[in-house]
Amino acid sequence: MGAIETNGLIKDFGELRAVDGVTFEVQEGEIFGFLGPNGAGKTTTVRMITGVLKPDSGRAYIDGINVVQDPIPAKERIGIAPEEANAYIDLTARGNMQLAGELYGVPKKERRRKSDTLLEEFGLGDRADSKVKGFSKGMKQRLILAMALINDPPILFLDEPTAGLDVASQQLIKERIGELNGEGKTIFLTTHNISEADKLCDRVAIINKGQIATIDSPEKLKATIQSTQSVLISFASNDFSQAKLKELKEGLQVVQEIEKEGDKYRLYGSDPGEIVEKVVDFARKENLNIVSLNTSGPSLEEVFTHLTAG
């Protein structure tokens, strides 16, 4: 049994079925991305798995423990950085950390030490005694993550941890996510940042209108959109004319389409390896100098758009 498992989760809000039969399994040690457009049902799913919201139907398990039947042992294993800031603005950063520690049953003696270590790690050491009221969005987000780690949980739920942050703050949080995973933590990462999911996640589930559209590794998902594979090539100036372009296309049966992109040409086809071979042969025969040659597959964004369109 995986670290996180759901089976047929359903949640209705009045007439709206926000989550419509969601089933998946996350293995221990994975970074699992939960990717979907606004309103897809990501946060509602997380709230059901973490025991905040009761499902109308279906089950959720943490390390094999049924979250509804045994909420206490299930919740001991998880840390949650929710979508909406859960820090008290009238308390200091340290005060919030202590409170989170108390809530998660961290022994009093350890609370202070752990709080200080985590605040330091998240770059908030020098603001530990400032009230959260005066914190920027990035600072609040870092504090929320630190709070989620106070009981050193093996499984972390992060709901849009980098949304609305500047590049430096995003980078800091992404690095910490990678490190935490390196320490063996399982990470459930909700995001609509596709490149973040692509870079960080072992596997990604794409959710749309309350249903899982697909689950796979980013690379395998990209491979499902074969037709948009392409090769980008540029030749030394003046070497290449429109006439040559026509000749090239006729000569290369493997190329479906050629598009000019600035000083480069993009050759589309289903087999980029073969395109590269043929185009190199062609250049040699015609005495053309190749300046650059790159193959590029479809992006995760294309897969996402494809699956969530309409």
Question: Cα separations (Å) of 21 from 8, 16, 74?
Answer: 4, 13, 21
Interaction residues for ligand ATP, span 171-230 (CB under 6 A) = 192
From Mg ion, ligand ATP, none, which one binds at residue 140 (CB under 5 to 8 Å depending on kind)? none
CA distance 304 to 264: 27
Of 11, 33, 43, 304, the one binding Mg ion (CB under 5 A) is 43
Which region, judged by CB under 6 A, interacts with ligand ATP, from 39-47, 95-103, 171-179, 241-249? Answer: 39-47
Which region, judged by CB under 6 A, interacts with ligand ATP, from 41-49, 145-153, 197-205, 218-226? Answer: 41-49
Report helix angle 167-182 to 137-148, nearest 10.
Answer: 10
Point out the residue whose Cβ comes nearest to Mg ion. Answer: 43
| Size, binding site for Mg ion by CB under 5 A | 3
CA angle 195, 196, 202 (to 5 degrees): 105
CB of 191 to Mg ion, least distance (A): 10
Instruction: Indicate the residue type of 293.
Output: L
Per-position b or e across 102-137, b if 16+ CB within 10 A of its CB: eebebeeeebeebbeebbebbbbeebbeeebeebee
CB of 215 to ligand ATP, least distance (A): 16
CA distance 147 to 40: 27
From Mg ion, ligand ATP, none, which one binds at residue 44 (CB under 5 to 8 Å depending on kind)? ligand ATP
How many angstroms separate the first and last alpha carbons of the chain? 35
From Mg ion, ligand ATP, none, which one binds at residue 38 (CB under 5 to 8 Å depending on kind)? ligand ATP
Footprint on this chain of ligand ATP (rule: CB under 6 A): 13, 16, 18, 36, 38-44, 83, 192
